[in-house]
Amino acid sequence: FVKSKQHTFASQKQAFHSNANLLQFESRFESGNLRKAIYTGQNDYELFLRSDLFTKKYTQWFYFRVSNTQVEKRYRFTIVNFYKATSLFSSGMRPLMYSEEAARRSKVGWHRIGDDIQYYRTKWGDDTESEINDGDQFSYSKSAKRDRNSKYSNDIYYSLTWTFEFPYSQDVVYFACCYPYTYSQLRDYLNSLERNPKIRQFCQQQVLCETLAGNKVPILTITEPAADRPNNAKVGF
């Protein structure tokens, strides 16, 4: 992720606080998808994700950055607008964390963290979408309670909550659902293959199409070098 490019989302709204003791959240980098963070007291934060582009408001992964950290404090993060009814977080999986200070001092990379992890159904759904978008005072904290008795609906949100402590004060820390691998990292890797003359003999790259966002979708054809191929051999794409 250190190679990720910075991008600005003009329409993005994020709830920050001027209090110097509060965490500062950021997701305006490649693959970041945090829309809003709300402080609800006692080191608790409620987080709202931006839905995936060109989907029906799907939200099931997360990637964001936190700064202004403090040690010897137990924090709770609650991501409140997941859409899937089931999750691996219900089966023992834990969120990923990357600390810049831990990487610099101890060469510690991405690792799983978190206690008191719960993934549960809530009473909120799509009818709160406009409030999440436009109402900076919208608070979810007192209403994000389990609702195990009501019938399942695709319009119902699910929440992920966990507690943890930061390893260093004044650190920059990243959180993710799974190990981040951005489009820029993919392009850098494919370009390195293209620059290698030995690999280029049997690995050819072409553009298959473009995504709705305008990103090129590469296709790789791996075959034996042309010099070693029989005259009647056919290469398929």
Cα 148 to Cα 65: distance, rounded to the nearest angstrom: 32
Element (H, E) at 222: strand 216-222
DSSP state of 128: G
CATH architecture of 2-127+151-179: Sandwich (2.60)
Per-residue pLDDT of the chain (237 residues; tens, 9 = 90+): 223 333 332 333 344 445 789 999 999 999 999 999 999 999 999 999 999 888 877 899 999 999 999 999 999 999 999 999 999 999 999 999 999 999 999 999 999 999 999 999 987 666 555 455 544 433 444 444 434 443 334 568 999 999 999 999 999 999 999 999 999 999 999 999 999 999 999 999 999 999 988 999 999 999 987 666 566 555 444
| Cα(217)–Cα(110) distance, integer angstroms | 28
pTM of the model: 0.78
Instruction: Compute the distance between CA of residue 132 and CA of residue 205 in angstroms, rounded to an integer.
Output: 43
CA distances from 206 to 63, 107, 232 (A): 30, 37, 23
DSSP for 34-76, written as a single string:
EEEEEEEETTEEEEEEPPPTTSSS-----EEEEES--SS--EE
Domain boundaries, the chain: 2-127+151-179, 185-222
